[in-house]
Amino acid sequence: MKSESAPKVLISGAEIALVTKRLAAAITRDYRNKNPLLVGILKGSFVFLADLVRQLDFPLEIDFVRLASYGAGTTTSGEVKMKHDLQLNVKGRHVLVVEDIIDTGITVKFLMEYLKKQKPASLKLCALTDKPSRRRVKVKIDYRGIEVPDKFLVGYGIDCDEKHRNLPDICILDE
């Protein structure tokens, strides 16, 4: 059980905005004329995706998936399940997956393999934060925001037991 001490700011909302701008510039260069399909992984990516797409001034579409990795607590069990599938067709589309944190990499690896089977024209990954110290499977992050330490993070969409998603900054939750 996590204590209720106040989360400490690790990355401020202002810093996140700068990083998002940099990622959006790179994405704009690569996707401007491709009508990409951005796929947000619920729930954690919803704030980042909302800010990111408002920096993208070209035609695009948005869809969501919800994945669950089994096991309680703050670490993944290794088994991933699709809880809510895409509504839009992936075949022939330029697909960009948008994620909040790449931790062990297991969740996003599952999704990339799942989507690849549906024959997109291209498939890439954008992640706001990357925790490479915890990686268990290899993941290629095409648009990588900020490297973060091996701490449990909350805020800016990211939760601990559904709490703290509404914080404007990315914070460290004390043990």
Q: What is the dihedral of CA 146, 52, 140, 155, to 10 degrees?
A: 50
Question: Which of these is catalytic: 103, 142, 150, 161?
Answer: 103
Assess whether the previous peptide bond of 109 is cis (omega < 30° from 0): no
Residue 7 binds to Mg ion (criterion: CB under 5 A): no
Q: Which string of DSSP letters, residue by residue, matches 47-82?
A: HHHHHHHTT--S--EEEEEEEEE-SSTTS--S-EEE
103 in catalytic set: yes
Residue 44 binds to Mg ion (criterion: CB under 5 A): yes
Binding mask 94-113 for Mg ion (x = CB under 5 A): --------------------
Tell me phi and psi for residue 85, to 5 degrees: -85, 170
Residue 155 binds to Mg ion (criterion: CB under 5 A): no
Residue 143 binds to ligand IMP (criterion: CB under 6 A): no
Chain residues that interact with ligand IMP, rule: CB under 6 A? 41, 44, 69, 76, 99-108, 152-153, 158
List the catalytic residues. Answer: 103
